[in-house]
């Protein structure tokens, strides 16, 4: 009696997590299923106790609602719900109803347990605690340490140490191989007497073009070399070389110093090399005297992001590296402005706000900044100087691709270029007489970092505002309200993003629905705790220690942020690679089933923490 349920097996094989099962387990699985049918608008009878089976939608669509009737998820073909699919026990109490004629495959809990026991990749999907599942996924994404990241911005000349090893084109294959063997190199350059590069020979060439073809070892090496190979310049950044290798799938790049060969760069050199800081690109910035040359360097930021993505840097370290470049450009612009306009008449501090302050910039960032001037400031005497200074820097940043902030949160506007006492008045008003609309605009100023100038001005204002926000329940209630204004989607339904209330959107705004809600939560926690931390991960770490939020909650949020940010970096890297402008909008089509599930979990964490926040401050 052979059972022929190929049709069902093929369906399972095409859907996560069943795609993780080996062939024999997959073939045996259909025989363990039960099939059920629900007509449109009917309720799944087990509603309220969906935990005894795993439900897989074969065709149709199912909605899950909580006991209060709030939409929680909408499932389409290939989606699963029920046993062990959610980290939240309450989910089992949810109500399922078919919103279209629906055919369900149902797998009893004990069969799920059995498969989980036998097949770890399958079990991966079902771990009881959502946090674990996410964390495991994240650890797959970003393992790169900062050293690996930092080496990107090193010029190639600093990585290659040895003098180039080269052979004349007339040397025999055997002689060349001997030299390679003695020098313990996996590749060798072929150059003429004048040092001009003719070609390259690698171990692989010796294997493939000589040994495998039983070629005469006494032939000149020129016979088998790769002619006019791709090269890099000694002044290029290491990340440019790494990208070239990745794109062309090569592991050796001759390094040129003008017309002459300077050495050989191998993939191993790149991975072996460690430096301690990302100072190279940055130090280049400080050598520039013209806006145009700063522009040239800032134009490399998308490439830098690309290399960070291909080095699998964590989103956090990528954010720090990219922001370091912005900081350097800002600082250099201020130095150039002071050279042009003369020394400042009174002390001032240039403050970054928003994502730059938080060290969370990506390839697509506009500028948010402000200026705090010493209280000795006199509009009549000094106004002109600071106006010019701010215009020079903001225009310069805009020219470098950090476009003007649409909300005009920039030092170029008179409002945000004020003496300390005015800033204190601003914060006093925002904190003591909060207005929801004003807070929405000004919350960017609750993330501040001093970039340049008199640090004490910045410390003053920071202390002033934190001492006012710490434990200030009325203000925090307003901030909490603001933090709840960006809601993460419920998940994905077919090729739509499912938004609370059941509306659909074609693309998923990773910034506003994925990242901003977490940033907003962390800001409220930090202000409530009076923490000086500004970076979101640092804030979450600091507040968990202080008890403002549970340690598990903070950890889940950190994981969720890292995951969404990593997806965003990947998305932007893909756009840059395709020659497009990087943005924050991703189509659900571009997500794997696995990523969709991870994202759904991340959204669930954010929604849970938003609920906790709203209960804490809004009652």
Partner 1 sequence: MSIWKYLFNLEERRNWWMRKMPDCPLRDYYEVDFPDKDSDWRQVDYIAVDYETTGLDQKNDQILSIGYTTVRGSRIYLDEAVHILTKPTVDIPESSAVVHGILDDQAARAKPIEEALPILLSALAGKVMLAHHAAIEYHFLSNACRYLYGYPFIGPVVDTLALEVRSFRNRDKAIQAGDLRLAAARARYGLPRYPAHNALTDAIAAGELFLAQVAYREGKRQPRLKDLTVIS
- What is the total count of residues that contact partner 1 (CB under 8 A)? 27
Would you say 101 or 460 has its CB closer to partner 1? 101
Would you say 52 or 248 has its CB closer to partner 1? 52
Q: Is 34 in the site for partner 1 (CB under 8 A)?
A: yes
Do residues 491 and 73 touch, judged by C-beta distance below 8 A?
A: yes
> What's the chain's length in residues?
619
Q: Helix %, strand %, coil % for the chain, to 5?
A: 50, 15, 30
Would you say 78 or 157 has its CB closer to partner 1? 78
> What is the C-alpha separation between 50 and 61, in angstroms, rounded?
16
Q: Is 5 in the site for partner 1 (CB under 8 A)?
A: yes
Q: Considering only the stretches 55-63, 241-249, 264-272, 296-304, report the one whose residues sit in contact with partner 1 under the rule CB under 8 A.
A: 55-63
- Name the helix (H) or strand (E) containing 427: helix 420-432
In the complex, least distance from residue 61 CB atom to partner 1, rounded to whole angstroms? 10
Q: Is 3 in the site for partner 1 (CB under 8 A)?
A: yes
Kindly give, in sequence order, each residue whose CB lies less than 8 Å from that of residue 533, ignoring residues fewer than 6 positions away: 526, 539, 541, 542, 543
Q: Is 4 in the site for partner 1 (CB under 8 A)?
A: yes
Q: What are phi and psi of 75, to 5 degrees?
A: -110, 135
Kindly give, in sequence order, each residue whose CB lies less than 8 Å from that of residue 270, ignoring residues fewer than 6 positions away: 151, 159, 238, 241, 242, 245
Q: Is 2 in the site for partner 1 (CB under 8 A)?
A: yes
In the complex, least distance from residue 111 CB atom to partner 1, rounded to whole angstroms? 10
Would you say 98 or 167 has its CB closer to partner 1? 98
Q: Is 24 in the site for partner 1 (CB under 8 A)?
A: no
Q: Is 31 in the site for partner 1 (CB under 8 A)?
A: yes
Q: Is 7 in the site for partner 1 (CB under 8 A)?
A: yes
Would you say 41 or 378 has its CB closer to partner 1? 41
Q: Considering only the stretches 98-106, 194-202, 538-546, 554-562, report the one whose residues sit in contact with partner 1 under the rule CB under 8 A.
A: 98-106
HEC string for 85-107: CCCCHHHHHCEEEECCCEEEEEE
Q: Is 46 in the site for partner 1 (CB under 8 A)?
A: no
Site map 56..75 versus partner 1, x via CB under 8 A:
--xxx---------------
Q: Is 494 in the site for partner 1 (CB under 8 A)?
A: no
Would you say 45 or 121 has its CB closer to partner 1? 45
Q: Is 14 in the site for partner 1 (CB under 8 A)?
A: no
| Residue 484: DSSP 8-state | T
| Residue 403: DSSP 8-state | P
- Which residue blocks in 184-314 are alpha helix, DSSP H? 203-205, 238-248, 267-272, 279-285, 291-298, 301-310
Would you say 8 or 399 has its CB closer to partner 1? 8
Would you say 75 or 262 has its CB closer to partner 1? 75
Q: Is 30 in the site for partner 1 (CB under 8 A)?
A: yes
Among 1, 163, 343, 578, binds partner 1 (CB under 8 A): 1
**Strand blocks (E) in 533-616:** 585-586
> What is the C-alpha separation between 368 and 359, in angstroms, rounded?
12
Q: Considering only the stretches 29-37, 120-128, 261-269, 358-366, report the one whose residues sit in contact with partner 1 under the rule CB under 8 A.
A: 29-37
Among 51, 106, 298, 572, binds partner 1 (CB under 8 A): 106
Q: Considering only the stretches 101-109, 262-270, 278-286, 356-364, report the one whose residues sit in contact with partner 1 under the rule CB under 8 A.
A: 101-109
Q: Is 109 in the site for partner 1 (CB under 8 A)?
A: no
Do residues 200 and 229 touch, judged by C-beta distance below 8 A?
A: yes
Would you say 4 or 68 has its CB closer to partner 1? 4
Please report the sign of the dihedral spanned by the C-alpha atoms of residue 100, residue 105, residue 109, residue 114.
Answer: negative
Report helix, strand or coil for 60.
coil
Torsion of CA 184, 188, 191, 197, to 10 degrees: -140
How buried is residue 533: exposed, middle or buried, by Cβ count under 10 Å (0-12/13-18/19+)?
A: middle
Q: Considering only the stretches 52-60, 210-218, 282-290, 313-321, report the one whose residues sit in contact with partner 1 under the rule CB under 8 A.
A: 52-60
Q: Is 103 in the site for partner 1 (CB under 8 A)?
A: yes
Residue-wise burial string across 229-251, b where 16 or more C-beta atoms lie within 10 A, e elsewhere? bebbbbebbbbbbbbbbeeeebb
Would you say 42 or 277 has its CB closer to partner 1? 42
> What is the C-alpha separation between 153 and 280, in angstroms, rounded?
6
Kindly state the tokens that stand for 544.
Answer: 């968990």
Q: Considering only the stretches 99-107, 222-230, 387-395, 550-558, report the one whose residues sit in contact with partner 1 under the rule CB under 8 A.
A: 99-107
Do residues 156 and 238 touch, judged by C-beta distance below 8 A?
A: yes
Q: Is 37 in the site for partner 1 (CB under 8 A)?
A: yes
In the complex, least distance from residue 103 CB atom to partner 1, rounded to whole angstroms? 6
| Residue 144: DSSP 8-state | B
> What is the C-alpha separation between 275 and 484, in angstroms, rounded?
42
In the complex, least distance from residue 2 CB atom to partner 1, rounded to whole angstroms? 6
Would you say 32 or 596 has its CB closer to partner 1? 32
Sites of contact with partner 1 (CB under 8 A): 1-5, 7-8, 30-40, 42, 58-60, 100-103, 106
């Amino acid at each position: 009696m052979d059972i022929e349920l190929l049709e069902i097996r093929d369906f399972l094989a095409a859907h996560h997590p069943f795609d993780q099962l080996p062939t024999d387990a997959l073939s045996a699985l259909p025989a363990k299923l039960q099939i059920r049918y629900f007509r449109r608008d009917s309720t799944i009878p087990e509603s309220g106790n969906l935990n005894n089976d795993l439900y897989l939608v074969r065709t149709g669509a199912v909605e899950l609602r909580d006991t209060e009737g709030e939409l929680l998820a909408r499932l389409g073909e290939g989606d699963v719900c029920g046993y062990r699919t959610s980290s939240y026990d309450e989910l089992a109490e949810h109500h399922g109803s078919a919103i279209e004629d629906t055919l369900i495959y149902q797998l009893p809990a004990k069969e799920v347990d059995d498969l989980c026991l036998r097949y770890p990749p399958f079990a991966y999907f079902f771990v009881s605690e959502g946090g674990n599942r996410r964390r495991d996924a994240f650890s797959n994404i970003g393992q790169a340490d900062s050293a690996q990241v930092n080496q990107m911005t090193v010029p190639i000349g600093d990585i290659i140490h040895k003098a180039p090893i080269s052979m004349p084109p007339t040397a025999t294959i055997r002689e060349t191989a001997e030299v390679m063997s003695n020098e313990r190199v996996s590749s060798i350059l072929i150059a003429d007497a004048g040092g001009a590069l003719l070609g390259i020979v690698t171990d692989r060439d010796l294997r493939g073009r000589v040994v495998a073809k039983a070629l005469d070892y006494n032939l000149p090496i020129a016979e088998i070399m790769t002619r006019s190979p791709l090269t890099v310049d000694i002044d290029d950044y290491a990340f440019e070389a790494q990208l070239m290798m990745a794109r062309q799938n090569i592991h050796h790049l001759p390094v040129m110093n003008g017309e002459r060969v300077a050495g050989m760069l191998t993939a191993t050199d790149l991975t072996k090399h460690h430096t301690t800081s990302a100072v190279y690109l940055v130090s280049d910035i400080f050598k520039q005297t013209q806006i145009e040359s700063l522009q040239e360097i800032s134009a490399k930021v998308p490439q830098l992001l690309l290399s960070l993505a291909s080095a699998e840097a964590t989103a956090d370290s990528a954010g720090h590296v990219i922001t370091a470049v912005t900081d350097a450009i800002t600082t250099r612009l201020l130095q150039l402005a002071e050279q042009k306009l003369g020394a400042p008449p009174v002390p001032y501090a240039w403050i970054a706000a928003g994502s730059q302050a938080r060290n969370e910039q990506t390839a697509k960032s506009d500028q948010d900044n402000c200026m705090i001037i010493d209280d000795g400031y006199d509009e009549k005497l000094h106004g002109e100087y600071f106006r010019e200074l701010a215009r020079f820097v903001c225009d310069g940043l805009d020219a470098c691709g950090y476009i003007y902030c649409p909300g005009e949160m920039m030092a170029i506007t008179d409002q945000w270029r004020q003496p300390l006492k005015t800033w204190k008045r601003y914060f006093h008003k925002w904190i003591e007489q909060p207005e929801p609309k004003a807070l929405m605009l000004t919350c960017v100023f609750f993330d501040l970092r001093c970039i340049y100038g008199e640090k004490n001005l910045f410390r003053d204002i920071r202390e002033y505002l934190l001492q006012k926000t710490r434990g200030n329940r009325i203000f925090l209630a307003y901030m909490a309200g603001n933090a709840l204004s960006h809601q993460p989607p419920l998940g994905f339904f077919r090729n739509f993003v499912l938004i609370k209330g059941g509306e659909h959107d074609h693309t998923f705004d990773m910034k506003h629905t994925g990242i901003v809600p977490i940033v907003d939560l962390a800001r409220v926690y930090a202000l409530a705790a009076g923490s000086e931390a500004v970076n979101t991960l640092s804030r979450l770490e600091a507040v968990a220690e202080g008890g403002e939020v549970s340690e598990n909650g903070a950890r889940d949020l950190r994981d969720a942020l890292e995951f969404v940010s990593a997806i965003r970096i990947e998305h932007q890297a893909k756009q840059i690679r395709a020659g497009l402008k990087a943005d924050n909008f991703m189509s659900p089509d571009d997500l794997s089933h696995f990523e969709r599930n991870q994202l759904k979990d991340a959204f669930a964490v954010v929604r849970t923490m938003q609920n906790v926040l709203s209960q804490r401050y809004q009652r």
